[in-house]
Each structure stands twice: as structure tokens, then as C-alpha cells.
Amino acid sequence: MLSGRRTSHAHPLLLAMLTMLTAGLCASLYVASGGELEHQGIGMQWLALAFATLLSGSMVLGGEIATSTVSLGTQTLMWQRVQIVVGNLLGIALALIGVHLLSGALWQEGQWGEEALHVAKEKLSYGFWELVALGALSNLGLCLAIWLSRIADQPSLKLMTLVAPIWLFLNTGIEHVMVNLLLVPFGLVVLQGAPEPFWQMASCDPSVFASLTVTNLVCNNLMPVLLGNLVGGGGVVGLINLWLDRGSDDALWLESLDEDR
């Protein structure tokens, strides 16, 4: 829906689910790099670029991510927003189930599982207002990229506008509520469901990760990050969108801009 109108006739719920599945691939690559993709070799960077392109492609087709969608600051119906959230959550669930069924903890000879635990623990170590600030900055950048991509005429230009910031986020990290619903649960899946061979290979003690709980995930991460995302996405980019839409009879100012073209 990056052009103000859909480029695919697929159901928006399915597109939202596909978007988060591809985001799951990006998140798994982020974990595989130990959260330091910027220090990896050229091969890993090419893979990150490919995954960023795949995620951008799903968004160009009409897939959206909750709190970072084109509906921020528009008159999108509530049931459409609900479809986006439900589709995203289904995609996240499928990604987590896939990691569990494919024994993700054992990937890279157990290194992936260890990094998943460390990344999840680090996500829960930030302070409340630190997460609010990081969430606002992260979503501000992502929503601006989406907003600018809607102005582009050609799908190829839309894709190029999105790939760069997503690739950058893979290299520098991002505090986004939907992404954290992948990264922290990856650690929970490893902690609660890793096979015995993993703990025999791992150089870490499960008791060190006692803070990895659903309660801590919700209270110490998702709540402040969601607040920051809403401030950066809806409070800044969304308000700009509403300001541009002032005095217009259309629900989306940018949609009318596309139609004029």
C-alpha cells in the first residue's frame, strides 16, 4: 500500500503475515551475526541486503507492519488496522514455530542459540525512557522511509527507498515493538525448548537468563518501545501526514497525488 493504493489483490491479513515472516528472516540473520552485523564479512552483508530487499518487496506489494504503516495519520478504518495487527502476530507465531521445529538453537553449532539468548537478555536490560527514545527514533526513520516511498512513481524506486533504511537497521539494531516480538521470543524459545545437546555444547548457564520471561518482555520492553514507536511514527510522521491532508476531501493526500499522476 506504499503508493496510496494496493499493488496486490491478496488479502491484507495475508500480506501482513508475509511481511512479518520475511521480518523473521531478517531477525534470524541479526541473531546469527550476534547483533553486530556491521562487523561481519561481505558475504553476510550481501545476505542482509537480500533479506532487506525481500522485506521491502513484501511491503511494496501491500504488506504492512503495525505502528509503522501508511495508515498512521490517516482515516484508515479500525478493522483494517486490526487485520494488520492480527496478520503480523500470525507471521511472528509462524516464525517462532519454525525456529522451534527446525531446532534453531543448534544452528551454527549452537552459536545461534547462544546469541539468541544474549540478544534477548540485552533487549531487556535497557531503561524505560531509554527504550522510549530508541523506539521513537527507530520508528521515525522507518515511517519516513515508508512515507517517502509512497511518493515515488515506480515500484523499483519504492523498493530502493525502503531497502536502504531496513539494511541500515539490520546493521545498527532497531527498537520496534513488532521486531522485538521476534528477537526476545527467539531467546525464550531457545531457553524453554532447546534440546539437550544444545546445553551440552553451550558455554552458558540457563540460570543466567532467568530474566527472560513473558512478564519482563511485556513490562520492561514492549510497553516502552510501543510508546516510543507511537511517538516517533504516529506523533511525528502521522501528524505531518494529517497536516498535509488538511482541507482535502480525500482520506489520503498522497493517494490523490498518485491519482493525479
**DSSP-derived secondary structure letter, 108:** G
Q: What percent of the chain has pLDDT over 70?
A: 82
For residue 8, what pLDDT is reported? Answer: 53
Q: What is the CA radius of gyration of the chain?
A: 19
Q: Average of pLDDT values for 8-15? A: 76
For residue 2, what pLDDT is reported? Answer: 39
pLDDT reading at 209 higher than 70:
yes
pLDDT reading at 242 higher than 70:
no
Phi-psi bin for 219: left (phi > 0), alpha (psi -120 to 50), beta? alpha
- Over residues 87-141, the pLDDT tens digits come to 999 999 999 999 999 999 999 999 999 999 999 999 999 999 999 999 988 888 7
For residue 87, what pLDDT is reported? Answer: 94
Q: How many other CB atoms are there within 10 angstroms of residue 200's CB atom? A: 8
| Burial class for 48, CB neighbours closer than 10 Å (0-12, 13-18, 19+) | buried
Nearest C-alpha neighbor of 123 from the set 60, 42, 184: 184
- Over residues 13-65, the pLDDT tens digits come to 899 999 999 999 999 999 998 877 877 888 888 988 998 999 988 888 888 88
Confidence of residue 251 (pLDDT cuts 50, 70, 90): very low
Which residues have a Cβ under 8 Å from the Cβ of 243 and sit 6 or more positions away? none
Confidence of residue 250 (pLDDT cuts 50, 70, 90): very low
Confidence of residue 81 (pLDDT cuts 50, 70, 90): confident
**DSSP-derived secondary structure letter, 238:** I
Whether the CA torsion 211, 212, 214, 220 is positive or negative: it is positive
Confidence of residue 161 (pLDDT cuts 50, 70, 90): confident
Residue 72: C-alpha distances to residues 8, 59, 166, 192, 236 (Å): 20, 15, 19, 36, 10
Domains of the chain, earliest start first: 12-243 (1.20.1080.10)
For residue 17, what pLDDT is reported? Answer: 94
**C-alpha to C-alpha distance for 148 and 151, rounded to whole angstroms:** 5
